[in-house]
Amino acid sequence: MSYQIIDGKAISEQIKEECRKKVAAYKEKGIEITLAVIQVGADPASSVYVRNKKRACEFCGMTSLSYELPEETTHEELLTLIRKLNADDKVNGILVQLPLPKHIDEDLVIQAIDPKKDVDGFHPQSVGALCIGQPGFVSCTPAGIIELLKRSNIEIAGKECVVIGRSNIVGKPMALLLLRENGTVTVCHSRTKDLKEVTKRADILIVAIGKPKFITGDYVKEGAVVIDVGIHRNEDNKLCGDVDFESVAEKTSAITPVPGGVGPMTIAMLMHNCVGSVELI
Ligand code: NAP
C-alpha cells in the first residue's frame, strides 16, 4: 500500500511563517511580543530546546528574554522571578523549561505562572478551559498534532481515535483535542488489557508511550493514520520514535517520520501560542 509521509518540518515552517507575518502586523500597530524563557540548571537536552525556542522567536520577530539560573536556585527564588514576570506588562509569555531539578516542585511552579502568560498550556486553568471547551492555551505537542492532521487533509470527525499514553503534557490534552474535533476517542495506558486489540480499531493512532519502536505493524489496522510522538536516540546515536517505522508504514495511509514529524511542530505551536497571547494580555 502506498502511504503519505506527513511532513512536520514543512508544516511547522508554514506555521512559523504565518506567525512571522502576524508579529510584523502587530509591530506596525506598535505591539511587541516578548517571551520569557527560564532554565534552571544546565541539562544539555534542555539547553538545546531552549536555544531552539530562542531561534524560533528570532525568526518570528519576537523578543526572547533568557533567564539561565543555577542548579541550586531555590523554589522561592524561582517563584519570585515568575511573580516579577507575571507583573511585567512587556512580557506576554512565560516558559519554564522542564524538567526542573528535583528540589523544586514542578506543579507549584506551573501554578505560579499567570494563566494569561501560560504559553506552554500546562497551568491547571488552561487544562480546565480545554476540558470544558473554553478559550485558553493548549499544550504545544498535541496542538501541533491536530495541525498536522488538518493541514494533511485528514478528517478527524467520526473517526476511531486511539491515544497511547495519558501524560499531562501529551496523552490527556491529545484526547481532549481529538474529542473537540469530534473524534471517538479511546485512551490507552500501562494498565490497558490487550493493547493490540484496542489499537487495531484505530483509524487514527497517536503513539506517546515513551518506548523506542514499541508499536510494530501488528498493532495497526490496514489504512490507519499513525502519529509518532516519541523521540529517542538509539545505540548509533540516531533518532527514532515510539513506532517501528519499517514494519508500520506499509500498513498505513499516512504516517509521521522521526525526525521531521511531530518534533518540529512543538516549537511552531509555541510561537503560535505566543502570538495568541497578545489577545489575552
Ligand atoms: P510519559 O509521561 O512517560 O508517558 C508515557 C505513557 O505511556 C504513560 O501514560 C504510560 O502509562 C503509557 N505506557 C507505558 N507503557 C505502556 C504500555 N506497555 N502499554 C500502554 N501504555 C503504556 O511520556 P510523555 O511525556 O507523554 O512522552 C511520550 C513520548 O513522547 C516520549 O518518547 C517523549 O520523549 C516524547 N515527547 C515528544 C515531544 C515532541 O515534541 N515531539 C514532546 C513531548 C514528549 P501509565 O500512565 O499507566 O504509566
Instruction: Render pLDDT for 211-269 as a digit per residue (tens, 0 to 9).
Output: 999 999 999 999 999 999 999 998 888 999 999 999 999 999 999 999 999 999 999 99
Percent of the chain with pLDDT over 70: 99
Average pLDDT over every residue of 89-98: 97
Distance between Cα 209 and ligand 1 center (Å)? 4
Over residues 122-175, the pLDDT tens digits come to 999 999 999 999 999 999 999 999 999 999 999 999 999 999 999 999 999 999
Three-state DSSP at 167 gives coil
Task: Provide the Cα torsion 45, 162, 265, 215; round to 10°.
Answer: 50
Of 204, 223, 194, the residue nearest 162 (C-alpha): 204
What is the per-residue pLDDT for 185? 98
Over residues 170-191, the pLDDT tens digits come to 999 999 999 999 999 999 999 9
Q: Which of 85-89, 157-161, 254-258, 277-281 has the lowest mean pLDDT?
A: 277-281
Q: Whose Cα sits closest to atom 6 in ligand 1?
A: 165
Class of domain 139-263: alpha beta
How far apart CA 203 and CA 226 sit, in angstroms, is 8
Distance between Cα 18 and ligand 1 center (Å)? 30
Q: Is 97 a catalytic residue?
A: yes
What is the per-residue pLDDT for 234? 85
Distance between Cα 211 and ligand 1 center (Å)? 7
The answer to whether 31-116 and 139-263 have equal CATH topology is yes
Task: Give CA 199 to chain center in angstroms.
Answer: 22
All three cell numbers of 125: 486553568
Of 197, 160, 209, the residue nearest 182 (C-alpha): 160
- List the catalytic residue out of 7, 114, 118, 120: 120
Are 178 and 161 a contacting pair, CB within 8 Å?
yes
Q: Is 54 a catalytic residue?
A: no
Distance between Cα 81 and ligand 1 center (Å)? 31
What are the pocket residues of ligand 1 if the criterion is a CB atom closer than 6 Å to any ligand atom? 141, 164-167, 169-171, 188-192, 195, 208-210, 229-231, 242, 262-263, 266
Q: Is 39 a catalytic residue?
A: no
Over residues 14-68, the pLDDT tens digits come to 999 999 999 999 999 999 999 999 999 999 999 999 999 999 999 999 999 999 9
How far apart CA 95 and CA 113 sit, in angstroms, is 9
Q: Which CATH architecture has domain 31-116?
A: 3-Layer(aba) Sandwich (3.40)
For the chain, which residues make up each domain, given as ranges? 31-116, 139-263
Of 118, 124, 97, 96, the residue nearest 276 (C-alpha): 118
Beta strands at 184-188 and 160-164: parallel, antiparallel or unpaired: parallel
**Look-up: residue for cell 480499531?**
201
Q: CA 34, 74, 47: angle at the middle one, nearest 5?
A: 50
Q: Whose Cα sits closest to atom 15 in ligand 1?
A: 190
Q: What integer best gives the mean pLDDT of the chain?
A: 97
